[in-house]
Amino acid sequence: MRILILSIIIFTIGLSCKQRKNSNEFYVLSYHDSLSRNGIPPPPTPPGLKYYSNIVMIFDTSNNIYLYQVDIYGKNGEIIEKGLGQTWCCGDEEYPFFLDLTPNDLITINANYFIDFIKDNDCFFRLDTNYKSTNRFLYLVSDFDTIKNKGFYELLDYIKTSKNEKNRVYYIIRGSTEEERQVLKYKRSVDYYDPKSINWSENFLDGKTKPFTLKYDSLEKRFEMIIKKRVSFKENALRLAPIK
């Protein structure tokens, strides 16, 4: 009996240590998360890149990863074309723009196929550091304090340090914005999303302005450049007109 009890205690301690070890392998977001490249401190965050880059990757607790893109618009409504990861100058905003993001703008990818997806679409991501024409810059986002999605860790392994010091892949790890959290909630539940019905906080642009208000529209127009979501796929894109 004593041997049985001792065996159970040893097994329990061993299991506890194993769980503790595994939990330590996860990335835990903190207030101090900032721009980093493979653990090497780079220069400060470029202006206009406080929250978004061309492509944003959201790592869910499950095996899903969500991707979306943004565009930069000038005062006349024209899209300002910039290469992937180049610096945008949208002002020194302390709070994010409202992107008009919807659940349909989030492309869902299973973590088991994430790196293959990145490789197969290298013309978009160009995370192979042998690509020499420009730096690349990504936002890696989590809706949770601890990132358990294996795609996150495989991505960091895939991003290699380049021998060419002028050619690097940078990334910022951050928690989700208020808008991302709301859109993710509706993406997971597959419920109808009506952004105007949501009681948004004032944590946009200057930290004192709600979206869908005259104040927000007026303040947004003061920026030289505005960040909005890009529509990658339109809802019900395969729809055809009725046959007559």
Radius of gyration, CA atoms only, the chain: 21
Which bin fits 146, alpha (ψ -120 to 50), beta or left (φ > 0)?
beta
Residue 9 is assigned to a structural domain of this protein: no
User: Residue 88 has what pLDDT?
Assistant: 44
CA dihedral 215, 219, 221, 226 (to 10 degrees): -120
> Is 114 in contact with 155 (CB distance < 8 Å)?
yes
User: Residue 1 has what pLDDT?
Assistant: 53
Residue 8 is assigned to a structural domain of this protein: no
Residue 29 is assigned to a structural domain of this protein: no
Question: Containing domain of residue 222, as a range?
Answer: 37-229
The model carries a pTM of 0.78
Residue 190 is assigned to a structural domain of this protein: yes
User: Per residue of the chain (244 residues), what is the pLDDT tens digit?
Assistant: 555 443 433 333 343 333 333 445 788 886 545 434 444 444 456 556 678 888 899 999 889 999 999 988 877 777 876 543 444 444 456 789 999 999 999 999 999 999 999 989 888 887 776 655 667 788 899 988 899 999 999 998 888 654 455 557 778 888 899 999 999 999 999 899 999 999 999 999 989 999 999 999 999 888 888 889 988 777 766 776 666 6
Residue 26 is assigned to a structural domain of this protein: no
Residue 241 is assigned to a structural domain of this protein: no
How many structural domains is the chain composed of? Answer: 1
Residue 47: CB atoms within 10 Å: 13
Residue 134 is assigned to a structural domain of this protein: yes
Strands 136-142 and 169-175: parallel
User: Residue 39 has what pLDDT?
Assistant: 45
